[in-house]
Amino acid sequence: MALEMSQFHEAFFEEGFESLDAMEQGLLKLDPNAPNSETINSVFRVAHSLKGGSGMFGFTEITSFTHTLETLLDELRSGRKAVSSGIVDLLLKSTDVLRGMLQATQRKTPIDQQVVADLQFDLEQLVAQGPSAAAASQPAPQPEPEPEPSPPPAAAAAAELKPEQLAHPAGTTWRIELKPNERLLVLGNDPQRMLAELAELGDLERHVDTAAVPALADIDPEVCYLSWRLELNSQVTQEVIRSVFEWAEGDCELLIEAQPGSVAPAAEPEVRLPAAAEAAAAVPAAVREPPAASAEPPGALPAGAAPSAEARSASPARAETAAEPPKSATSDSNSIRVSIEKIDELMNTVGEIVITQSMLMQFAQGGDAASLDRLRTGLGQLERNVRELQDTVMRVRMLPISFVFSRFPRMVRDLAQKLGKQIELKMTGEQTELDKTVLEKIGDPLVHLVRNSVDHGVEAPAARLAAGKSAHGTVYLDASHRGGNIAVEVSDDGAGLDKDRIQAKARERGLIGAGDVLSDEQIYELIFLPGFSTAEKTTDVSGRGVGMDVVRRNIKSLGGKINISSERGRGSRFVITLPLTLAIVDGQSVTVGSESYIVPLISIIESLQVKPAQVNSLSGRGEVLSFRGDYLPIIRLHEVFGVEPRTRMLHEGLVVVAEGDGRRVGLFVDDLLGQQQVVIKSLETNYGHVEGVSGATILGDGSVALILDLPGLIRDASTRAAA
Amino acid sequence: MARARKSSAVARIPDSAAAPAMPEPVIDLGKTCGIREGASLKQQLLAVLEAADPVAIDPTAIERIDTAALQLLFAFERDRAAAGRSVAWRAPSAAFAQAAATLGLRLGGNAAAAQ
């Protein structure tokens, strides 16, 4: 039957990428000296579900590769092969290759066969090598290992059984009928595994039914014709037994029931017990429940007594569910996927409500007192509700910063290995949430900073020991909320910034005068200058084109800032402060003539009335304002935007001292109105790009106000002055 | 560096299969025998299905064998038995015996079914 599978492809890819991330994280946690069996299991599960999914959709290259990977992982899991750092490296490489394969398949571009074949070869070699030295000490023929040392998932579950998962201590005899359907083997589910796992739950008696196996010539080597009738005497509940078949769900017919006469499970310890036994007995043996329907213990009567017709066979619809990896393999978070467009729509609507609300508020300004009072109360409430709604919607856009952090353990590990350093990465505050847009843009700057810390910050082990420090260096990553902002910190316990060298370099390049005395902060500022590097040689670790100037520019474009502190020999600390969201900005509204403009609060230093004496005119360079010992160029907004101002006399209006890209200017405006949060509407989408304007918003009275982009405005003004 | 893809350890039938004077045909299952090797294993088994006694299967080196492969071996032995022919089993590896026992399959008489 031609089932339309392509609609599930996207879900598979998304799940796939997530699984790979989970796998990578798992692998990074894997300590070759003390391998955690649960970690190996979780990595195994990821490989397994990928294999199942790709088999489902006919992505044979991925299936084949994951099969090999799974085989190796199974060796590790069963303890036949010991985990070594070489194997972990190979497994990490496998996640990279798999990611590439997924991407290629998703984009329908060819897969890099050579890379895949090479790695698969290596993996197969490893598997073929047989038990490793460490594992070989165990007797090789040891059949299915005891729950120790690394039991398969279901057995692991059994090993950690909680009391409530155990039925009557005397045990129950479970009758299990397993009839694989045609696709089970192709999807990578081997009944061997399930039967072995069952055998670990208790005494298992197996009767294999071979009647359906056709003559050799007629066998399709990929179809399972065997079926099984099993009797399991065990103390576990039905759920535990069912979990053994979790992966095969939908690809086999399965019946699990308590034997009449045996002790029924204690899942429902009421007087219903006899009824349960009866119910189980009443179910005709021919009736097979699909696993999903057998979730309830027999104590819940209807499940066994009324199996639905569609449940009887593994319908295609059921088969689809197999494509979804078990939840535990990806993430435990209760989440749904929502497209960004939808959220943006919602955000827009909320923006509109905000506008309507402030419009109503203005109506309420005049009119008769009594009714207006009530109107105001109502509006006050509306305002509160709207603000809540706004907050909620904003939170929907928020994602934990772990989405960005998660790439660092791997990166630091690889870099440290390449540089021959011993570096530990400590991350805190991964759950700190910030806007998705900010999140996406903060990645590159963070990568650069972390790379810097690993490359230039933390010293080589020998140098560290010589400095009386432990050979192990540490790089810290931290994220936290600070007021309305997010602070992301990258720090290390390395050598710290070398102030003398930075200064020397700056002198050499003529950036500072020979006699200039700079404060620490001013010195650190220097490293943000384009092309500034004190590294004697650029390595391929740090020489990737993005300099600190780009880091700072990226952060500034997000409305954030970066601060450095450093102590010689003790380490350095880079603190990035970011706004929570880019969709809303705290602004100061100012008027020029009949127009209103919004100046982002973050860029305002102060506003003042100037005296004529404070202003000097420079020929050809416009006017400058003497401000706290500094001279700031004055930008007359009415000239920039071509509007008729209330006054052209500087002392009759106001000057807003604002900063952009590290340069300060005085903005000449008529008046200040008030501070408010404004929803940013893109000018590019609705009109076109205007230099010096970052967006627009709609004010309470329905008029449009432009939001000023200080860096742009300053650039624009300086080109004007130069012209 | 160009690497040849390793042909997974599936068995070669010694040339002897065609040479009557030579010793019995042996199907060496290699180390790994699974669904990926299924089609070629089936062809090998079919090639000797009608061969006169004795035909030997050698699972000595098996480290992993899956249900698909065991099923083929089962059908091979059954079909030969039905035609009054036998299969000589070389000493199975522990992994082979375990795999067959896990499935509850009897292969090679009792040799593999012992649990």
pLDDT for A102-147, tens place per residue? 888 888 888 888 888 888 888 888 887 766 544 444 443 434 444 4
Decide which of A97 and A274 is more confident.
A97
Which residues of B fall within a CB distance of 8 Å from A226? Answer: 67, 71, 103, 105
Rounded average pLDDT over A408-437: 87
Is A248's pLDDT higher than 80?
no
Report the chain B residue with the minimal C-alpha distance to residue A188: B35
Tell whether A114 and A158 lie within a shared domain. Answer: no
Which pLDDT belongs to residue A477?
A: 93
Measured in angstroms, the CA of B56 and the nearest CA of chain A are apart by 17
Tell whether A592 and A712 lie within a shared domain. Answer: yes
Confidence of residue A534 (pLDDT cuts 50, 70, 90): low
The answer to whether residues A260 and B80 touch, using CB atoms and an 8 Å cutoff, is: no
Interchain proximity B103–A214, CB inside 8 Å: no
Tell me, yes or no, whether A141 lies in a domain: no
Interchain proximity A144–B46, CB inside 8 Å: no
Interchain proximity B94–A141, CB inside 8 Å: yes
Which pLDDT belongs to residue A433?
A: 82
CA B103 vs CA A361, A404, B31, B109: distances in Å: 77, 46, 19, 15
Is A723's pLDDT higher than 90?
no
| Strand partners of residue B27 | B57
Tell whether A165 and A297 lie within a shared domain. Answer: yes
pLDDT tens across A487-515, in order? 899 999 988 888 888 888 888 877 787 77
A704-708 sheet: strands from edge to edge: A671-679, A584-592, A595-600, A704-708, A693-698
Which pLDDT belongs to residue A484?
A: 64
Interchain proximity A190–B66, CB inside 8 Å: yes
Nearest to B75 among A67, A127, A215 (CB): A215
Which pLDDT belongs to residue A264?
A: 46
Interchain proximity B35–A222, CB inside 8 Å: yes
The answer to whether residues A93 and A120 touch, using CB atoms and an 8 Å cutoff, is: no
Tell me, yes or no, whether A332 lies in a domain: no
- Domain boundary, last residue among A550, A579, A608: A579
Tell me, yes or no, whether A330 lies in a domain: no
Question: Which distant-in-sequence residues (6+ apart) come within 8 Å of A302 by Cβ?
Answer: A296
Measured in angstroms, the CA of A122 and the nearest CA of chain B are apart by 10
Measured in angstroms, the CA of A690 and the nearest CA of chain B are apart by 55
Tell whether A599 and A554 lie within a shared domain. Answer: no
Nearest to B6 among A121, A207, A225 (CB): A121
What are the structural domains, with CATH classification, of chain B?
Answer: 24-103 (3.30.750.24)
Confidence of residue A280 (pLDDT cuts 50, 70, 90): very low
Interchain proximity A210–B78, CB inside 8 Å: yes
Q: Specify the CATH number for the domain of residue A358.
A: 1.10.287
Tell whether A658 and A711 lie within a shared domain. Answer: yes
Decide which of B52 and A572 is more confident.
A572
Nearest to B72 among A127, A191, A221 (CB): A221
Is A474's pLDDT higher than 80?
yes
Tell me, yes or no, whether A146 lies in a domain: no
Which residues of A fall within a CB distance of 8 Å from B42? Answer: 216, 219, 221
Nearest to B71 among A121, A224, A228 (CB): A224
- Nearest Cα neighbor of A527 from A515, A544, A511, A516 is A511
Mean pLDDT of chain A: 76
- The answer to which of A3-12, A64-73, A201-210, A349-358 has the lowest mean pLDDT is A3-12
Percentage of chain A lying above the pLDDT 90 cut: 9
Q: Which pair of structure tokens corresponds to residue A571?
A: 């380490």
Decide which of B10 and A373 is more confident.
A373
- Domain boundary, last residue among A294, A324, A354: A324
Interchain proximity A128–B31, CB inside 8 Å: yes
Q: Specify the CATH number for the domain of residue A45.
A: 1.20.120.160
Q: Which helix (H) or strand (E) holds A479?
A: strand A473-482
The sign of the CA dihedral A515, A520, A523, A525 is negative
Rounded average pLDDT over A693-715: 85
Q: Which residues of B touch A (CB under 8 A)?
A: 3, 5-6, 8-9, 31-32, 35-36, 38-39, 41-42, 45-46, 49, 63-64, 66-68, 71-72, 74-76, 78-79, 93-95, 98-99, 101-105
Question: Which distant-in-sequence residues (6+ apart) come within 8 Å of A118 by Cβ?
Answer: B3
The phi, psi pair for A227, rounded to 5°, reads -140, 165
Interchain proximity B36–A67, CB inside 8 Å: yes
Nearest to A221 among B5, B38, B64 (CB): B38
Tell whether A130 and A166 lie within a shared domain. Answer: no
- The answer to which of A160-174, A351-365, A555-569, B63-77 has the lowest mean pLDDT is A160-174
pLDDT tens across A222-238, in order? 888 988 988 888 888 88
Which pLDDT belongs to residue A573?
A: 92
Tell whether A25 and A116 lie within a shared domain. Answer: yes
Tell me, yes or no, whether A60 lies in a domain: yes
Domain that holds residue A118: 6-136
Measured in angstroms, the CA of B83 and the nearest CA of chain A are apart by 12
Confidence of residue A533 (pLDDT cuts 50, 70, 90): low
Which pLDDT belongs to residue A187?
A: 75
Which residues of B fall within a CB distance of 8 Å from A207? Answer: 104
Nearest to B67 among A144, A216, A224 (CB): A224
Say what the ipTM of the complex is: 0.77
Decide which of A703 and A666 is more confident.
A666
Nearest to B103 among A208, A215, A225 (CB): A208
Report the chain B residue with the minimal C-alpha distance to residue A139: B94
Confidence of residue A151 (pLDDT cuts 50, 70, 90): very low
Decide which of A663 and A547 is more confident.
A663
Decide which of A404 and A533 is more confident.
A404
Interchain proximity A226–B105, CB inside 8 Å: yes
Measured in angstroms, the CA of A325 and the nearest CA of chain B are apart by 22
Tell whether A253 and A271 lie within a shared domain. Answer: yes
Nearest to B71 among A141, A217, A226 (CB): A226
- Domain boundary, last residue among A136, A170, A201: A136
Tell whether A175 and A85 lie within a shared domain. Answer: no
Confidence of residue A251 (pLDDT cuts 50, 70, 90): confident
3-state SS of chain B?
CCCCCCCCCCCCCCHHHHCCCCCCCEEECCCEECHHHHHHHHHHHHHHHCCCCCEEEECCCCCEECHHHHHHHHHHHHHHHHCCCCEEECCCCHHHHHHHHHHCCCCCCCCCCCC
- Nearest Cα neighbor of A273 from A281, A282, A283, A263 is A263
Tell whether A588 and A717 lie within a shared domain. Answer: yes
Report the C-alpha gap between A617 and A631 in whole angstroms.
11
Is A470's pLDDT higher than 70?
yes
Which residues of A fall within a CB distance of 8 Å from B72? Answer: 216, 219, 221
Which residues of A fall within a CB distance of 8 Å from B35? Answer: 185-186, 221-222
Which pLDDT belongs to residue A89?
A: 86
Percentage of chain A lying above the pLDDT 70 cut: 78
Measured in angstroms, the CA of A172 and the nearest CA of chain B are apart by 21
Tell whether A594 and A496 lie within a shared domain. Answer: no
The answer to whether residues A206 and A151 touch, using CB atoms and an 8 Å cutoff, is: no
Is A266's pLDDT higher than 50?
no
DSSP SS3 for A54: helix
Interchain proximity A206–B104, CB inside 8 Å: yes
Confidence of residue A667 (pLDDT cuts 50, 70, 90): very high
Measured in angstroms, the CA of A313 and the nearest CA of chain B are apart by 22
CB pairs A-B closer than 8 Å:
101
Which residues of B fall within a CB distance of 8 Å from A69? Answer: none
> Helix A6-29 crosses helix A85-107 at what angle (to 10 degrees)?
160
Which residues of B fall within a CB distance of 8 Å from A186? Answer: 35
The answer to whether residues A587 and A678 touch, using CB atoms and an 8 Å cutoff, is: yes
State how many domains chain A has: 5
Which residues of B fall within a CB distance of 8 Å from A216? Answer: 42, 45-46, 49, 72, 75-76, 79
Rounded average pLDDT over A198-214: 87
pLDDT tens across A377-397, in order? 777 878 777 777 777 777 777
Tell me, yes or no, whether A91 lies in a domain: yes
Nearest to A219 among B5, B6, B42 (CB): B42
Which pLDDT belongs to residue A131?
A: 62
Which pLDDT belongs to residue A722?
A: 65
Report the chain A residue with the minimal C-alpha distance to residue B45: A216
pTM value surpassing 0.90? no
| Angle (nearest 5°) at CA A152 between A147 and A155 | 55
Interchain proximity B35–A213, CB inside 8 Å: no
Tell me, yes or no, whether A230 lies in a domain: yes
Report the C-alpha gap between A211 and A221 in whole angstroms.
16
Q: Which residues of A touch B (CB under 8 A)?
A: 64, 67, 71, 117-118, 121, 124-125, 127-128, 130, 140-144, 185-186, 190-192, 195-196, 199, 206-208, 210, 213-217, 219, 221-222, 224-226, 228
Mean pLDDT per 10-residue segment, chain B (115 residues) = 45 45 75 86 89 85 89 90 86 87 77 39
Tell me, yes or no, whether A101 lies in a domain: yes
Tell whether A574 and A596 lie within a shared domain. Answer: no
Q: Specify the CATH number for the domain of residue A646.
A: 2.40.50.180
The end-to-end CA distance of chain A, in Å, is 72
Which pLDDT belongs to residue A163?
A: 47
pLDDT tens across A15-55, in order? 888 888 888 888 888 877 777 778 888 888 888 888 888 87
Residues A306-311: contacts with CB under 8 Å, at least 24 apart: A307/A283
Measured in angstroms, the CA of A81 and the nearest CA of chain B are apart by 12
Report the C-alpha gap between A582 and A584 in whole angstroms.
6
